[in-house]
């Protein structure tokens, strides 16, 4: 990942939450694609193990540019605006893999 633009201001050993990155830090297209693909791989790995993340949102995604690492941090951080209907109890269904995707793209 490149440290162009606003990314140069992030200390090399420190990560940044995706929600902060989404709030105005400029990012080049190659870094964006690398973050996106790595995040897809992280979520896919959880889903292959039949694990529903449950609260996938930009606040729980930590990006460490120097290590080219995307990881899920404290998933107990709840952003109710991004939860799927089955995660909030609005519908009587058990949350599943698609719930994670709904939660992430509806932020």
Q: Which domains does the chain have, with CATH numbers?
A: 5-105 (1.10.510.10)
d(CA 83, CA 98): 11
Q: Residue 25's pLDDT band (boundaries 50, 70, 90)? A: confident
Per-residue model confidence as pLDDT tens digits over 71-107: 888 766 566 777 778 877 788 888 888 888 777 776 5
Is 84:96 a contact under the CB 8 Å cutoff? no
Q: How far apart are CA 95 and CA 51, in angstroms?
A: 10
Average confidence (pLDDT) over 32-50: 90
Report DSSP state, residue 15: -
């Amino acid at each position: 990942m490149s440290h162009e633009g606003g990314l140069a201001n992030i200390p090399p050993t420190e990560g940044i939450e995706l929600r902060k990155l989404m709030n105005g830090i400029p990012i080049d297209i190659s870094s964006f694609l690398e973050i996106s693909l790595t995040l897809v791989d992280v979520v896919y790995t959880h889903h292959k193990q039949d694990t529903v993340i449950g609260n996938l949102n930009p606040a729980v995604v930590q990006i460490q540019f120097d290590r080219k690492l995307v990881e899920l941090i404290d998933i107990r951080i709840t952003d109710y605006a991004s939860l799927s209907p089955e995660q909030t109890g609005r519908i009587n269904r058990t949350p599943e893999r698609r719930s994670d995707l709904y939660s992430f793209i509806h932020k």
